[in-house]
């Protein structure tokens, strides 16, 4: 669940390439395809959870490959192959700034269904931005006794800044916590942010990492819990706003938040990409890629990979809504707080 931004510092290490693929692998289009397909076959963690028949896909795409096809054709074949996974933690890079992420199109479309400028201008009385790099700001909803927090990425030098924000918003009757377009980051940051809203210790999920050639070969189960509540935890009503681009560690944050009784999710389903990513893998042609190596199961034993967190109240914006200066998701959160908690 690490954010892709940290990968770019690593991709120039050619010595890693030799260590991963070996020095004697021929750089042919056929061999590049075979290495790619077999590496997924032996290490990708979510074939079962995502209902993928990888061998059947081999039979579809392998006949399209021979040593005479161009790099562009091979790129298209590999991209089409991983698109079946619908897993944004699976990405192919060409080493020249070009990449393809599985399941990208749905996440990209959702970026037109929210506008930070609209939220600030229409819905908020005041805004305090922590830093633009952390994509973290907070404020007050206009003419309402409701606080607002936007968090767009799960990283930052000091996650305890959330405690300062909660201190500023503690007297409001409710908080709208907006994690739409949250691109993920570090799960430890997610757990620490969620602590500010904790109503107690709850079992949230388990993780296992694939460690063998069989699809059901995984290491020991690791259990994850919310932090216990602290003296200044915010336990009044909280509405978490989500969309299809609430991804990875953003979804982990939501996993913690949804274990609290005073929290409700409003918006669209999240991306359904919970896993930790592999180290960078290299092909003989110097392309490189990453994929999911973990499965995450919730207390009922089910996986939400490929599904995402389904909202308690489903509603989504269209691009036309935003162009008309309406955020229906935000409006629905306000309506819920009034109807269910008499907060206005």
Domain that holds residue 217: 114-272+307-341
Q: What are phi and psi of 87, to 5 degrees?
A: -135, 105
Tokens of residue 2, six digits = 């690490």
Q: Are residues 33 and 163 in the same domain?
A: no
Q: Are residues 95 and 121 in the same domain?
A: no
Query: Domain for residue 223, yes or no?
Result: yes
Q: Are residues 38 and 181 in the same domain?
A: no
- The answer to whether 64 and 57 are in contact (CB under 8 A) is no
> 250, 53, 68, 57: which is closest to 154 by C-alpha?
250
> 87, 304, 339, 62: which is closest to 206 by C-alpha?
304
Query: Domain for residue 195, yes or no?
Result: yes
pLDDT one digit per residue (tens) for the chain, 344 residues: 544 333 433 433 333 333 355 557 899 999 999 999 999 999 999 999 999 999 999 999 999 999 999 999 999 999 999 999 999 999 999 999 999 999 876 667 788 899 999 999 999 999 998 866 668 999 999 999 999 999 999 987 678 899 999 999 999 999 999 999 999 999 999 999 999 999 999 999 999 999 999 999 999 999 999 999 888 999 999 999 999 999 999 999 999 999 999 999 999 999 999 999 999 999 999 999 999 999 999 999 999 999 999 999 999 999 999 999 999 999 999 999 999 999 98
Query: Domain for residue 243, yes or no?
Result: yes
Q: Are residues 163 and 262 in the same domain?
A: yes
Q: Are residues 23 and 144 in the same domain?
A: no
Q: Are residues 223 and 75 in the same domain?
A: no
Burial class (CB in 10 A: 0-12, 13-18, 19+), 317: buried
Q: Are residues 155 and 56 in the same domain?
A: no
Q: Are residues 75 and 204 in the same domain?
A: no
**Torsional class of 100: left (φ above 0), alpha (ψ -120 to 50), beta (otherwise):** beta
Query: Domain for residue 284, yes or no?
Result: no
Helix intervals (H) in the chain: 14-21, 29-43, 54-61, 71-83, 104-110, 116-118, 161-169, 187-195, 249-257, 319-323, 328-341
C-alpha 267: how far from its chain's center? 15
Query: How many residues are listed for the chain in this entry?
Result: 344
Q: What is the CATH number of the domain that holds 98?
A: 3.30.750.44
Q: What is the CATH number of the domain that holds 262?
A: 3.90.226.10
Q: Are residues 160 and 200 in the same domain?
A: yes
Q: Are residues 25 and 165 in the same domain?
A: no
Burial class (CB in 10 A: 0-12, 13-18, 19+), 75: middle
Count: domains in the chain: 2
Q: Are residues 98 and 118 in the same domain?
A: no
Query: Domain for residue 292, yes or no?
Result: no
Where would I find the beta strands (DSSP E) of the chain?
91-93, 99-101, 124-131, 136-141, 146-151, 174-178, 203-209, 222-225, 238-242, 263-267, 281-282, 288-290, 294-297, 313-314
CA-to-CA distance for 37 and 47, rounded, in angstroms?
13
Query: Domain for residue 234, yes or no?
Result: yes
How many CB atoms sit inside 10 A of residue 333's CB? 27
Query: Domain for residue 295, yes or no?
Result: no
The pTM of the full predicted model, rounded to 2 decimals, is 0.90
Q: What SS3 class is residue 54?
A: helix
Query: Domain for residue 291, yes or no?
Result: no
Q: Are residues 71 and 32 in the same domain?
A: yes
Bridging pattern class, strands 294-297 and 99-101: unpaired
CA-to-CA distance for 10 and 39, rounded, in angstroms?
20
């Amino acid at each position: 669940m690490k954010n892709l931004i940290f990968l770019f510092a690593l991709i120039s290490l050619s010595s890693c390439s030799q260590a991963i693929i070996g020095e004697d692998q021929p750089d042919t289009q056929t061999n590049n395809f075979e290495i790619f397909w077999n590496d997924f076959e032996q290490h990708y963690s979510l074939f079962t959870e995502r209902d993928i028949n990888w061998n059947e896909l081999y039979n579809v795409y392998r006949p399209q490959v021979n040593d005479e096809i161009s790099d562009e054709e091979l790129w298209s074949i590999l991209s089409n192959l991983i698109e079946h996974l619908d897993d944004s933690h699976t990405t192919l890079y060409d080493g020249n700034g070009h990449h393809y992420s599985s399941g990208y199109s749905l996440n990209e479309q959702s970026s037109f269904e929210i506008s930070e400028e609209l939220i600030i201008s229409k819905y908020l009385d005041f805004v305090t931005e922590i830093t633009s790099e952390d994509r973290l700001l907070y404020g007050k909803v206009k003419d309402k006794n409701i606080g607002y927090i936007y968090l767009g990425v799960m990283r930052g030098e000091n996650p305890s800044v959330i405690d300062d924000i909660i201190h500023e918003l503690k007297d409001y009757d409710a908080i709208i916590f907006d994690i739409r377009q949250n691109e993920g980051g570090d799960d430890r940051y997610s757990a620490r942010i969620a602590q500010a809203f904790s109503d107690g210790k709850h079992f949230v999920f388990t993780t296992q990492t694939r460690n063998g050639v069989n699809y059901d070969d995984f290491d020991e189960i690791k259990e994850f819990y919310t932090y216990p509540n602290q003296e200044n935890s915010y336990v009044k009503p909280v509405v978490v706003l989500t969309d299809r681009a609430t991804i990875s560690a953003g979804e982990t944050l939501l996993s913690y938040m949804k274990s609290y009784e005073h929290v409700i999710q409003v918006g669209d389903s999240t991306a359904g990409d919970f896993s930790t990513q592999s180290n960078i893998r290299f092909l003989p042609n110097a392309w490189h890629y990453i994929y999911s190596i973990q499965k995450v199961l919730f207390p009922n034993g089910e996986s939400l990979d490929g599904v995402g967190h389904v909202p308690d109240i489903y509603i989504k914006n269209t691009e036309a809504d935003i162009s008309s200066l309406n955020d229906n998701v935000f409006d629905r959160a306000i309506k819920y707080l009034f109807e269910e908690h008499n907060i206005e």
